[in-house]
Structure formats: structure tokens, C-alpha cells
Amino acid sequence: MEMSAVFAARGYASLRPATQPEPGAAFQALARDFAATLREGEETARAAIAGRADPHALVQALAQTELAVETAVTVRDRVVEAYQEILRMPV
């Protein structure tokens, strides 16, 4: 019985990082991806203006940038909405 408890404790310890991720790590990764998408779109637009990029690549980069901005705005709106709901809660 003791061995199974030791194995269970080791198993739990190995899974603990998955159940308690580092705070803010996911949002930092999302922010980096968002900034990279915007940067790539700007670089493609500059290359298209200079005549070095395919128009199809420009349209695709602009669509990705637009989707990223719309997603960020939607997340922001949901966070603000949740915050307002919390403020309306009775104490």
C-alpha cells in the first residue's frame, strides 16, 4: 500500500505544473503572437508598396491582421463586460 501512495504522490507532483500554470503566461504568449501578426502585416504592406511583394500576400496579411485586431477587440469587450458584471454584484 505504501508503494502505491509513493507512486501516486510522484504522479501528482509531475502533473502539478499542468494544473497550476504560471500566472499570465498564456496572455503573454497571446500578446507576442498578436504583435508578431501586426508586424508581419506591416512588413508585407511595406514590401507591396515597394513592389517586392505579391498582391495576394498583401491581401492575406491584411486579412490576418484584421482577424487579430477583431479578436483582440472581442476579448477586450468581454473582459470589460465581465468587470462590469462584477461591479454590479451585491455585496
Domain extent listing, the chain:
22-88
User: What distance, in Å, lies between the first and last C-alpha atoms of the chain?
Assistant: 48
| pTM over 0.85, yes/no | no
25-49 pLDDT tens trace? 778 888 899 999 999 999 999 999 9
CA distance 3 to 7: 6
CA distance 21 to 15: 10
The overall average pLDDT reported for the chain is 85
Query: Are 38 and 65 spatial neighbours (Cβ–Cβ below 8 Å)?
Result: yes
